[in-house]
Amino acid sequence: MKGIFITLEGGEGAGKTTQIPFIKAYFENKGLEVLTLREPGGTPCCEQIRAVLKEKRDDDVLCDEAELLLMYASRAQLTKTVIKPALAKGKVIVCDRYDLSTLAYQGAGRGIKESTIKSVRQAAIGDFAPDLTLLFDVDVKLGMARAGKRGVMDRIESSGNAFFERVRAGFLRYAKEDPEHIKVIDASLSPDEISAKIKCVLDGIYE
Ligand code: Z5A
């Protein structure tokens, strides 16, 4: 048995998390078991790494290289102990962010070289990759306005609009390079309209 590994990607406030119940129900209606995860996070250790990554502190500012390595520490753990075993049991995994976020945030956003990211990735997860990535694309200001409604911003959310413009451009560049695996969804639409777009993509592949 081989499951299906789907990842959701996009900038701040793109509406990924909002669509998870829809995607879960889509596959459950086909009689498949669905596991939903998030990155960084997803296991007790990975949630601790997530807390370090999100915490904003002035006494020990996290450097870009440490940020990159912590993202991959979380990913290595989640992939080996949760994702691969679940796929081997035939489950569908829906993961809120995964490897493309690193290329967009740490690569395009922070400016770490792609070759550096790929060598760390090789050590962490080898050639393992999602079957499908849904990229939720939304104007940075609109996404920030949605996310801003939550109140206080964490360390990464405080990176500024120019950073998030680079992240968005990075995501779109990678989608253009790999249209077979990365499907761009217009995330400026209403939640129901976005669900309909997702259904179209999923029907095209899994119907
Ligand atoms: N990160 C990284 O740098 N490198 C990596 O490798 C990985 C991650 C894996 C994780 O934070 C942070 O880690 C993230 C990237 C970085 N940081 N940033 N910034 P997170 O998991 O806490 O944050 P997130 O993934 O960015 O979540 P988010 O901002 O909540 O985005 P979302 O899940 O796409 O949005 P949402 O929660 O579904 O919706 C946000 C709000 O908009 C909410 O009030 C909704 O009710 C509303 N919403 C949702 N959809 C719509 C539509 N269609 N219209 C109007 N309003 C909507």
- Which amino acid residue places its CA nearest to atom 40 of ligand 1? 13
> Ligand 1 centre from 106 Cα, in Å?
16
pLDDT at 1: 66
Q: What are the tokens at 13?
A: 């406030």
φ, ψ for residue 152, nearest 5 deg: -60, 135
CA triple 150-110-20, angle to 5 deg: 40
Q: Which of 8, 9, 12, 69 to mutate to test the pocket of ligand 1 (most atoms within 8 A of CB)?
A: 12
Q: What is the pTM of this model?
A: 0.97
Quick count: other Cβ atoms within 10 Å of Cβ 89?
Answer: 11
> Ligand 1 centre from 97 Cα, in Å?
9
Strands ordered across the beta sheet of 182-186? 34-38, 92-96, 4-10, 132-137, 182-186
Binding site membership of 2 for ligand 1 (Cβ less than 6 Å): no
Q: How far apart are CA 127 and CA 156, in angstroms?
A: 27
- Please name which of 109, 48, 112, 105 lies closest in space to residue 74, comparing C-alpha atoms: 48
**pLDDT, tens digit, 9 for 90 and up, residues 136-181:** 999 999 999 998 877 788 999 999 999 999 999 999 999 999 999 9
Binding site membership of 75 for ligand 1 (Cβ less than 6 Å): no
> How does residue 37 score in pLDDT terms, banded at 50, 70 and 90?
very high
pLDDT at 29: 98
Cis before 179? omega within 30: no
How many secondary structure helices (H) and strands (E) does the chain include? 9, 5
pLDDT at 152: 84
Work out the percent of the chain whose per-residue pLDDT is above 70. Answer: 100
pLDDT at 148: 81
> Ligand 1 centre from 174 Cα, in Å?
19
> Ligand 1 centre from 1 Cα, in Å?
32
Q: What is the mean pLDDT of the chain?
A: 96
Q: How far apart are CA 154 and CA 168, in angstroms?
A: 19
Binding site membership of 149 for ligand 1 (Cβ less than 6 Å): yes
Q: What are the tokens at 127?
A: 């050639």
pLDDT at 74: 98
**pLDDT, tens digit, 9 for 90 and up, residues 140-150:** 999 999 988 77
**pLDDT, tens digit, 9 for 90 and up, residues 99-125:** 999 999 999 999 999 999 999 999 999
